[in-house]
Chain A
Amino acid sequence: DQQVKQNSPSLSVQEGRISILNCDYTNSMFDYFLWYKKYPAEGPTFLISISSIKDKNEDGRFTVFLNKSAKHLSLHIVPSQPGDSAVYFCAASKGAGSYQLTFGKGTKLSVIP
């Protein structure tokens, strides 16, 4: 039951370039989307989120884009830095009193110096 899908298990990017991480979802009840970053032996760290009423949210080097009709969101990191190397998880919640997060499997980003 893959309601949130991250189809790329890994991504390598040169330092300074843009990293684009993609996420698709199937459940139209999802109305809030989040990105988390995870280093080994640590818990997921919240990065950025977006409500379904928006199509873009920006925070420093991180921008999340939401295409609701395509049920697709992406995280752009620019410029990418070696410290960004981690596993990135896309997550979604349904709202209306339900705040449990449904996670994707993650994409391992490697930023090469």
Chain B
Amino acid sequence: EPEVTQTPSHQVTQMGQEVILRCVPISNHLYFYWYRQILGQKVEFLVSFYNNEISEKSEIFDDQFSVERPDGSNFTLKIRSTKLEDSAMYFCASTAEIIQGGQYFGPGTRLLVL
């Protein structure tokens, strides 16, 4: 069964460093998303991406964040200058449908900022 994959599974970085989280969505999917879950809190929407541009973003997704689909398969989230409060589990998701439907999530990248 096709699945969303994410790399790395864990990343430890120093505050102020740049990190890039990578995702490979399901191959025929058109919509891509990033969510995050800070430990003990709810899963929060960051950004959605369709047709090579951002379609929605939340207040969390400030100028420190960017997304890119550099080729036909990868979808990346970049945090330019990490802060301690960026420590969280980051989930990528994708969906084929252009109407509402279940988004398929990857296993997540656990980011720890020291």
A residues at B contact (CB < 8 Å)? 31-32, 34, 36, 41-46, 49, 51, 89, 91, 93, 95, 97-106
Contact = CB atoms under 8 A, between A and B. Distances in A.
B105 interface: yes
29 contacts: A32-B100, A41-B108, A43-B4, A43-B105, A43-B107, A43-B108, A44-B91, A44-B105, A45-B105, A46-B103, A46-B105, A49-B100, A89-B42, A91-B43, A93-B100, A97-B55, A99-B31, A99-B95, A99-B103, A100-B33, A100-B48, A100-B56, A101-B45, A103-B42, A103-B43, A104-B42, A105-B41, A105-B42, A106-B42
B107 A42 contact: yes
Contacts of A44: 43, 91, 105
Given A44-B105, A89-B42, A104-B42, 9 more contacts: A41-B107, A41-B108, A43-B93, A43-B107, A46-B103, A49-B101, A99-B56, A101-B43, A105-B42
Contacts, number: 57
Contacts of B18: none
B102 interface: yes
* For the complex of A and B, 4 pairs with smallest distance between CB atoms: A46-B102, A43-B105, A100-B45, A32-B100
B51 to A, nearest CB: 13
A31 B99 CA distance: 12
Nearest to A47: B102
Nearest to A2: B42
A42 B35 CA distance: 14
A37 B46 CA distance: 20
A42 B89 CA distance: 10
A93 to B, nearest CB: 6
